[in-house]
Structure 1
Amino acid sequence: MNGCPPQSPPTSLREYRATDDLAHGQRLDRWLASQAADLSRSQLQRLIDRGQVQVNHTQCDSKKYEVQPGDLITVAVPPATALSLEPEAIPLEILYEDAHLIIVNKPIGLVVHPAPGHETGTLVHALLSHCQSEDGLETSLSGIGGVRRPGIVHRLDKDTSGALVIAKTDLAHQHLQAQIQAKTAQREYLGVVYGKPPSEAGTIDRPIGRHPVDRKKMAIVPEEKGGRPARTHWKIERRLGNFTLVHFRLETGRTHQIRVHCADLGCSIVGDPLYGRGRDIGVNLVGQVLHAWRLSVRHPITEEWIQVEAPLPLEFLKVLKILEQRSG
């Protein structure tokens, strides 16, 4: 041995170019949060405070800096801390897997990553077990998401089921994240809503932000008050009396996006405990009848398209059957 201490992983440098006119005048922390899906706004604020963010090659220590079109913003992201979560042998429905990524069909009720009130029993715990080496010493998951979110590129709400892609390597994580930001990855959902949408198809283009009163909810919030652009494309798949089966395609991926946009349209998702309160179809439901049905991404190495379809959960099928019977 030469007595030299082991080298720690290098800091990751990320560059973002503000090419869109929508960036004009946005606060630095808010704009970066819209670009870096794996970093929270509070994480980015800490990086800014620590001098790890540069604008046009000059250190910027103000999160309130107003981004201008053409700005080159560099973020120095320190290496993730070693994982300290315990793997749990929770069954997973695998839709696709190779050495670089894994796509699962997340069931209703499974939280994606640890959070207050959900310290165990999450998808991350299941993935740590599934991706563990035979000797239990290594785990093949990207570390970019940090200790509590290894491999997590995007999320689904606890009570939304369906296809979710997870990165096994940092390269795959960055590649998949870039696809989501560039809107080349396709995320399609099926959901049952109350009522009848006003047309056969449409696009909801309304910004979403934290609800001004109820911090557990999101809401339609103007961009000048902190809302972030949100766009949902939808079309009717089947009319079921006073209910409708709708196909959704996300162009952006804000928290609760489909649920908030549907409620704003006056057609909230059936079973939604936050945005559809006071409505009941006479069936005990675990969560909202919303399913991430189809996911299409480019493979981070081969560049070939991977498209998977997640089978509808039994509860979703049960609701469809009941509504079809009622509608004749």
Structure 2
Amino acid sequence: MEPTQYPQGPETQETSDELYERFTFKTDKGQEPLRIDKFLMNRIEGATRNKLQKGINNGMVLVNGKPVRPNYKVKALEEIVVYSDMSPEETDVVPEKMDLNILYEDDHLMIINKPAGMVVHPGSGNYTGTLLNGVSYYLQQINPNVTEDTLPRFGLVHRIDKNTSGLLVLAKTDTAMRHLAKQFFDHTVKRQYIALIWGDPENDEGTIIAHVGRHQRFRKLFEAYPEGDHGKEAITHYKVLERFGYVTTVQCVLETGRTHQIRVHMKYLGHPLFNDDFYGGDRIVKGTVYARYKQFVDNCFALCPRQALHARTLGFVHPATGEEMFFEAPIPEDITSVIDKWRKYVSTRGVENQTT
């Protein structure tokens, strides 16, 4: 279904890595029979019959838990669920042959390990070379009839940042896409990230609860709003893995999936991600700035020329078999090289190196 303005507010389409959001309507006991598209047009701001029919045909509108046809007539006391594609803009996906690191694939889904530097889907300034360009080509080699009409966004239900590496799940059927989208919405998907952050956190583990939304002045950035006055709810659980005094390796588990969530939450905690040029991690945050130390840090930046963040694990229920699925992607060499470099640096200089 194409992006639609909903009455939930302007943040709806701006702050989620989960590309589908769910909206629920309940008909009252006096509801007269009415076509589903007409019913929804009266309740969704900016919706058109064409958009709604496309969503209904793609199985993104459910009545009492089941997909319906566009001519279905709603009745009294029915629950209607609409899954809306929250992609920031509609850009045609041009199939493009490329190497994809597919870790797992069956008839219903595929797991891809995305490298750092690759944009997930086409958008302003990135019309080719994205993951979806490659996925569309790959799927059409298997089935030439697969299009964005038969499988919206070629099965993409979540995303990670361009310079974040790691795991993504993509659906290969509309049924699998609906099932996975529901799991992301219900926050039952298990996601664990590995990050290298600046500084030495006070606690070995903790939970960060602060809304994440667009920065009020700089719209490309996101900000933490601990009072909940802007943005959407965001919860990150973290655990220290290894301390190097100046920097720390942490494990982050997402309870919600907001854009830049870990990066924003770690900045809010006072520990921006190492070499995160958006949120202040691309400079010396801890340590005395003298020539030798600065050269060491610059060398580390050169080894890992992006934010040190990797989506390491992904767990969910298989949409067809009901089986619990779990996948893990090794930490890339650029991050492990920097961690090793810091480990050697502190061991030769007598700085505390505590492993948890």
Taking structure 1 as the reference length, the TM-score comes to 0.76
**How many angstroms does 1:244 deviate by?**
0.5
Structure showing greater radius of gyration is: 2
Between the aligned partners of 1:85 and 1:256, the Cα distance in structure 2 is: 24
Q: Is 1:189–1:290's contact at 8 Å kept on the other side of the alignment?
A: yes
Q: Is 2:209–2:226's contact at 8 Å kept on the other side of the alignment?
A: no
Q: Any residues of structure 2 matched to 1:8-87 within 5 Å, and which? A: 27-29=7-9, 37-39=18-20, 59-60=42-43, 74-75=81-82, 85-87=93-95
Aligned to 1:133: 141
Aligned to 1:107: 115
Helix, strand or coil at the partner of 1:176: helix
Question: Does 2:300 align with 1:317?
Answer: no
In structure 2, what residue type is equivalent to 1:137? P
Q: Is 2:17–2:160's contact at 8 Å kept on the other side of the alignment?
A: no
Task: Give unmatched runs, 5+ long, in structure 2.
Answer: 23-35, 47-77, 285-296, 348-356
Q: Any residues of structure 2 matched to 1:163-178 within 5 Å, and which? A: 163-178=167-182
Aligned to 1:122: 130
**How many angstroms does 1:75 deviate by?**
3.8
Q: 2:232 aligns with which of 221, 225, 228?
A: 228
**How many angstroms does 1:209 deviate by?**
0.6
CA RMSD of aligned residues (A): 3.4
Aligned to 1:298: 317
Question: Does 2:100 align with 1:92?
Answer: yes
Q: Is 2:237–2:255's contact at 8 Å kept on the other side of the alignment?
A: yes
**How many angstroms does 1:38 deviate by?**
2.7
Q: Is 1:237–1:244's contact at 8 Å kept on the other side of the alignment?
A: yes
Aligned to 2:203: 199
Aligned to 1:44: none
1:220-269 per-residue CA deviation (whole Å, 9 max, x = no partner) reads 13676431000000000111231110000000000000000000000000
Between the aligned partners of 1:194 and 1:32, the Cα distance in structure 2 is: 31
In structure 2, what residue type is equivalent to 1:60? R
Between the aligned partners of 1:326 and 1:105, the Cα distance in structure 2 is: 30
Aligned to 2:194: 190
Q: Is 2:16–2:259's contact at 8 Å kept on the other side of the alignment?
A: no
**How many angstroms does 1:77 deviate by?**
6.5
In structure 2, what residue type is equivalent to 1:250? L
Helix, strand or coil at the partner of 1:150: helix
Between the aligned partners of 2:44 and 2:148, the Cα distance in structure 1 is: 32
Aligned to 2:65: none
In structure 2, what residue type is equivalent to 1:301? A
Between the aligned partners of 2:163 and 2:189, the Cα distance in structure 1 is: 23
Q: 1:246 to 1:83 in 2, by over 3 A?
A: closer
Taking structure 2 as the reference length, the TM-score comes to 0.70
Q: 1:219 to 1:170 in 2, by over 3 A?
A: same
Helix, strand or coil at the partner of 2:327: strand
In structure 2, what residue type is equivalent to 1:28? Q
Q: 1:177 to 1:223 in 2, by over 3 A?
A: farther
Q: 2:219 aligns with which of 191, 215, 221?
A: 215
